[in-house]
Amino acid sequence: MRLEHQEESGSQGASASARLTQEQLSELLDTAIAKHGAAERRQEQQSQLMTVDDALEIARSLNIPEEHVLAAAQELQKRGSVDERKSLARMRRLAPFGVTAGLAGLLTVSMGLIGGIVKVPDAMGALLMTAAWLPPLFFGWRWKFAPVSQEEADRIELPPKPGVCRVCGAPAVTPQSTFCEQHRYKGPTGGA
C-alpha cells in the first residue's frame, strides 16, 4: 500500500510524499497511535492533579475548617513518605539474599565438581548443602514476605527529589536542583 495523495497536496513536505510499504505504513500508524495515547494520558493525569489550595477552596465551600484540611494533607504526605521508606527498605533486603544465594550456588557447583574427584560421604554433602542454603532461604523469605517494621523504615533516608528543596520543601531553583534560592550554594563573595 502506498500513500497516493501526493497529487492532492503538492505543497506538503517530504514526509507526506514518501512512499511506504505496507509494513512501514503499519509501523508508522502504530507509533503515531501510541504517541497520541501517551499524550492524552499525560494530559489527563495533569488535569487530575490538584493542589492543597484547591482542597482548601472546596473545604471553604463546604464550611470545613482550614486547619482540618491542612492536618489531613500533612498526614497524607507523612503516610506517603512512610510507604516510600518501607518500599526502599524492602528493596535493600534484596542484596543479602542475592549475595548468600550466589555463594550457596557457588558452593553447590564446587561440591559437585569436587564430589566427582574426591569422595565425600553423602551425609556430609547433604549437611553442607543444607547449611549452605539456609541463609538464602531466610533472606529470601525476609525480602519477599516479612513485613517491614516501622523502626526499620525510620532508619531509611529518602533520596532528595529533583525540583524540591531538600531543606525546606519549597520549589527548587531549577527542575533538576534539590535546593531553593534561599538554601543553594552561593559561593565565596568577591574581594581579597
Span 55-65, pLDDT tens digits: 788 888 888 88
Beta strand segments in the chain, E: none
Residues 122 and 163 in one domain: no
The yes-or-no verdict on residue 83 having pLDDT over 90 is no
The yes-or-no verdict on residue 186 having pLDDT over 90 is no
Could you count the other beta carbons within 10 Å of the beta carbon of residue 30? 10
Residues 99 and 113 in one domain: yes
Kindly list the distances between the CA atom of residue 108 and the CA atoms of 9, 101, 104, 111, 112, in Å, as whole numbers in the listed order.
71, 10, 6, 5, 6
Does 127 map to a domain? yes
Could you count the other beta carbons within 10 Å of the beta carbon of residue 55? 16
Average pLDDT over residues 80-106: 88
End-of-domain residue from the set 45, 61, 91 = 91
**Coil, helix or strand for 113?**
helix
* pLDDT confidence band for 75 (50 / 70 / 90): confident
End-of-domain residue from the set 40, 75, 91 = 91
Does 20 map to a domain? no
Residue 148 pLDDT: 87
The helix (run of H) or strand (run of E) holding residue 41 is helix 22-48
As a whole number of angstroms, the distance between CA 143 and CA 155 comes to 17
Residues 85 and 56 in one domain: yes
pTM (predicted TM-score): 0.46
Residues 51 and 82 in one domain: yes
The yes-or-no verdict on residue 99 having pLDDT over 90 is yes
* Residue pair 6/13 in contact by the 8 Å Cβ criterion: no
Residues 127 and 73 in one domain: no
Residues 57 and 112 in one domain: no
Mean pLDDT, rounded, of the chain: 79
Angle at CA of residue 77, ends 166 and 86, nearest 5°:
85
**Out of 90-94, 114-118, 132-136, which region has the weakest mean confidence (pLDDT)?**
114-118
Q: How many structural domains is the chain composed of?
A: 3
HSE-up (13 A, CA, CB side) for residue 129: 13
Residues 64 and 108 in one domain: no
Grid cell in block for residue 57: 477552596
Kindly list the distances between the CA atom of residue 175 and the CA atoms of 44, 163, 178, in Å, as whole numbers in the listed order.
22, 4, 8
Q: What domain range is 108 assigned to?
A: 93-154
As a whole number of angstroms, the distance between CA 22 and CA 1 comes to 5
Does 75 map to a domain? yes
* pLDDT confidence band for 185 (50 / 70 / 90): confident
End-of-domain residue from the set 41, 58, 91 = 91
Residue 3 pLDDT: 45
